[in-house]
Each structure stands twice: as structure tokens, then as C-alpha cells.
Amino acid sequence: MGSLLGHWSDGNGPLHERLTNGLSRVIERGELPGEALLPTERELAAELGVSRTTVVTAYRSLKRTGRLASRQGRGTWIPRASSAPRAGSSARITSELFGSMFDESDGGLVDLTAACPLANPVLLDAVGRWTGAELAAGMTGMGYLPGGLPELRRAVADRYTARGLPTEPEQVVITNGGQQAIALIASLLVRPDAAVLMEDPTYPGALDVMRARGARTIAVPMDGDGVLPDVLETQAVRHRPALIYLVPSFHNPTGALLSPDRGARIAEFSRRTGIPVVDDQVLRQIWIRGRRPPPGLAEHDPDAPILTIGSLSKTMWGGMRIGWIRAPRSLAERLARARLLADLGGSVPGQVMALNLMDRFDEAAGVRREIVRATADVADAELAARLPGWEYTPPAGGATLWVRMPWGDARGYAQAALRAGVLVLPGSAMSVSGGHEDRLRISLLGEPEALREGIRRMAVAWESYRHTACDDGVVV
């Protein structure tokens, strides 16, 4: 319920009224079926980090309007007459991560959840220099290119070849960002009730995609050198997965880097078993501690069924919705056909822009690394000064910090943080198995001043959360 409510406490008015409105929106969206039981007042108060009186008052208000019903011995539920029609799939997005894309707020919140970068200065410079003729160059023919603009496919293939992974343009499929790449792969390879192995924790956008497909997501633990191959192979034998999804290069959210030995072993396992493995390399260019990433999985074994995802979004700009999949040719052809069913292919002008940026990709990546290093330094200083009891391992690269609270539940704390004016992402939103309750993910891709202010508000929220916990009898 905490996840479904999203940013319910943002706004004005008494807290119980904001909770009433938030619960009403959940009911109106049809995200819970008729007759669904709600948490008890005490359970929801603990989940949201508010007093039990706030929940009791909100429930009482909704009962008066017929939105909720209750009976002693049964609990509180949504009457069937009040429930909205439900979509065909019961899956939902991770509202703590993506909710700000839908919620209308006054703009006063500091958002430390989504790792979405601002436009790279290299991108802005390039756009300012382009002529209309350059942008119109690819606008010929029908414009329906399910595999992508041929020149862009070749440019991406040439980058992989130069890196030591021989690639033909026919092995590349252009997508609308890395997120669509994940969804496209899942639509082709993952059937309902199929098993998908994923690191725990993992990127929540991928977790949402797999759950929306009706997949059984299976957790594989990690350490400082990435996913554990022994456990991965054991889980694969036990569950016979349709797919393995990994983020080996600056893992999201931990920032870990998969060791070369483990990468070679996973690639060999994929080739030997035929199990497709996704190597999500969207964050590969952002190393911030001087350590470049080792070879990608497909570089260890080009014949293995490994699907490598790349993107311009983290390097250039979050709004630059251009990504790609590099795969064995047979898989790439099937992915292009799946793309045809989805949307007939992406925007050609956007791909022409991407093509014109490829010559400056490395320059832009260098600029992005400097920006993220500076932001990481701000996070180090502010967390040490304002939240000294909190722990994290400085990441080798990537876009986030994976922070451990001294005690408590991160989802409840996130609600206190929201009331203090800052959005943070609780670790359970990224957990395949529902764990990591004491963790938070903090984005490093925003403005340094926004991060500084966000951590200041986090410290205010921490004091509020401590007092609430003490009032509820929790020893701290």
C-alpha cells in the first residue's frame, strides 16, 4: 500500500486529509480489486511513518463516503461497487521511482529518486551547431525502420567492433532508450510464469517489466564483485529460467563492478546452456573512482546468446530516448520483428540526431564523469556532516549511492522524507525478494546544490522519524 500511495503526503492541508485523498486515488485507479482487504490502521501507520490516529481518521472519512467498508472480525475493504474497472494486468510500476512522472506537485520537492541526468553540455553545444540540412539527411523513404536507422546501426556496431567485440549492423536493434530495450527483450523471450534470474537488488524498471510479463523473478545475491556465479548456476538448474538479467557494469543501485573472472564464467554458462543473458550496460561509461569497466559479457564469448543493452540517455540526456540492443544476428532479427509489432520503429529525426552525436560520444562521456564525480564529492561531505551514522561503500561508478540506515524501515522513513520535502527511494523497491528494508538509493545525476539541499532535508526527516519511532515504543 505504501508503494501504491506514492507521494500521497505532498501538498497542503492536514495529514489525514492528504492520506484520504491518496487512498481515494488508489481506489479510483483500480489498482486494488473490489473486496480487497486493506492493512489495519496500525500496519498502515507503521508503513507510512504516521500516527495511528491519522490512518483511523482517513479510513473513517472514506467509510462515510462509501469508498471503504469494515466489520469487526473481517477488517477494512474496498466495496465492489466502489472499485474501478481493472486493467488486464495486475502489474504496477514502482511508484516511488516513477511516480513523480505522473504526480502533479508544486515543484518544491527535491527528487533524489530517479537517476535522470540533465542535458550534457556537449549535447547542447552540438545541437546549437547543427543545420537543418544535417537533421533532414535521414528523412527519406517511408520512415518505418523497426531495426533502426541503418547508418546508426552501423555506427553502434563499429563502436563494439573497435572495443574488441566484432559486430555487424544487422546485430543491432535501435530502441527508444534502455527501458524499451528491456521491455522488447522481455516481450520476445519471457512468457507468463517463466522464471527470470535477477541480481538482488536490481534496477526497479527491469523488475517492473518482468513482473508485468507475469514472470517469476528469482533473486541471486551479490557481493562487492557483483553477482555470485555459483548461486546463479544453482538457481538456473533449479528454475530453468527463460532469461537472466544483469547489470555488471556499475550495478544499479550498488555501483558494484562484476569481476572479469565472473564475467567470463557467466558468458561460458550462457553459451553452454543456451540461456539468454541481458548485459545492461547503460551505466558503463560512468566510472568515477578511476577504474574502467572490464570487458562486457559478450566480449568473453561472442557466440553466446548474450543481449547487450546500451543507451545515450545517461551520457547525453534523460530525454534523449535512444538506446540499442546488440545480440546474435538471429536474436536481433526476431527483436526487430517484435519492434515492428510494438510501434513500427522509432522516430527517424531522433535517430539522425543520435547519429550526429556518435562522434562526440566519448567526449560527452568524459564530461558526464566529471559532473558525477563532483556530485559524489558533495554527497560524501553532506552525508558525513549531517547523517554520520549512515553507511555506504563509495561506488566505483554508476549513478547512485546505496545507503544503509542505522536502524528502522526505509519505506517508513521515505514517507517522513516526503513530508520534509525530499523524495528518496527505499531499498525494498529494488529487491527481487522483498528485502533491503534498511537501504536507500540516492541519485547522483542531479544538480549538486539540489543534492546538498536534499540531504539537508533528509537529516530533518531523520530526526522526525526518530521521534515517531520513539513515540511508537521503538528503542533507538
Say yes or no: do domains 2-90 and 136-361 share a fold.
no
Looking at residue 101, its pLDDT comes to: 55
Fold of the domain spanning 2-90: Arc Repressor Mutant, subunit A (1.10.10)
Q: CA–CA separation, 293 vs 306, rounded Å?
A: 18
Looking at residue 89, its pLDDT comes to: 45
- Of the candidates 365, 369, 323, 316, the one whose C-alpha atom is nearest the C-alpha of residue 346 is 323
Each residue's pLDDT expressed in tens, for the chain with a length of 476 residues = 777 887 788 777 888 998 999 898 888 877 777 788 899 998 898 888 888 999 999 999 999 988 899 888 888 988 877 666 654 444 455 555 665 555 555 568 899 998 888 899 999 999 998 888 877 777 777 788 899 999 999 999 999 999 999 999 999 999 999 999 999 999 999 999 999 999 999 999 999 999 999 999 999 999 999 999 999 999 999 999 999 999 999 999 999 999 999 999 999 999 999 999 999 999 999 998 877 899 999 999 998 999 999 999 999 998 989 999 999 999 999 999 998 888 888 888 899 999 999 999 999 999 999 999 999 999 999 999 999 999 999 988 999 999 999 999 998 899 899 999 999 999 999 999 889 999 999 999 989 999 999 999 999 999 989 876 655 544 44
**Would strands 306-311 and 277-280 be described as parallel, antiparallel, or unpaired?**
parallel
Instruction: Please give the helix or strand (H or E) that residue 402 lies within, else none.
Output: strand 400-404
**Would strands 75-77 and 69-71 be described as parallel, antiparallel, or unpaired?**
antiparallel
Q: CA–CA separation, 168 vs 158, rounded Å?
A: 8
- Of the candidates 443, 30, 413, the one whose C-alpha atom is nearest the C-alpha of residue 204 is 443
Question: Could you tell me which residues are beta bridge partners of residue 244?
Answer: 197, 277
Question: Could you tell me which residues are beta bridge partners of residue 195?
Answer: 216
DSSP one-letter code for 198:
E
Domain boundaries, the chain: 2-90, 136-361
Distance of CA 8 to the CA centre of its chain: 21
Looking at residue 9, its pLDDT comes to: 80
Q: CA–CA separation, 231 vs 221, rounded Å?
A: 7
The residues, any chain, with a CB within 8 Å of residue 325's CB and separated by 6 or more, are 172, 173, 175, 181, 184, 185, 307, 308, 309, 332, 335
Looking at the whole model, is its pTM more than 0.75? yes
Grid look-up 517469476 returns: 216
Please report which residue ranges of 309-347 form alpha helices under DSSP H: 329-343
Q: CA–CA separation, 43 vs 397, rounded Å?
A: 38
Residue 343 in grid coordinates? 510501434
CATH architecture of structural domain 136-361 = 3-Layer(aba) Sandwich (3.40)
Looking at residue 96, its pLDDT comes to: 57
- Exposed, middle or buried, 403 (CB in 10 Å: 0-12/13-18/19+)? buried
What does the buried/exposed string (b/e) look like for 75-114 if buried means 16 or more CB atoms within 10 Å of the residue's CB? Answer: ebbbeeebbeeeeeeeebbbbbbbbbeebeeeeebbbbbb
Helix-, strand-, coil-residue percentages of the chain, each rounded to 5? 45, 15, 40
Grid look-up 546505496 returns: 402
Cα separation of the two ends of the chain: 26
The residues, any chain, with a CB within 8 Å of residue 354's CB and separated by 6 or more, are 152, 312, 320, 322
Q: How many CA atoms lie within 13 A of 452 on its CB side?
A: 8
Answer yes or no: are the C-beta atoms of 402 and 441 closer than 8 Å: yes
Does residue 253 have a cis bond before it (omega within 30 degrees)? yes
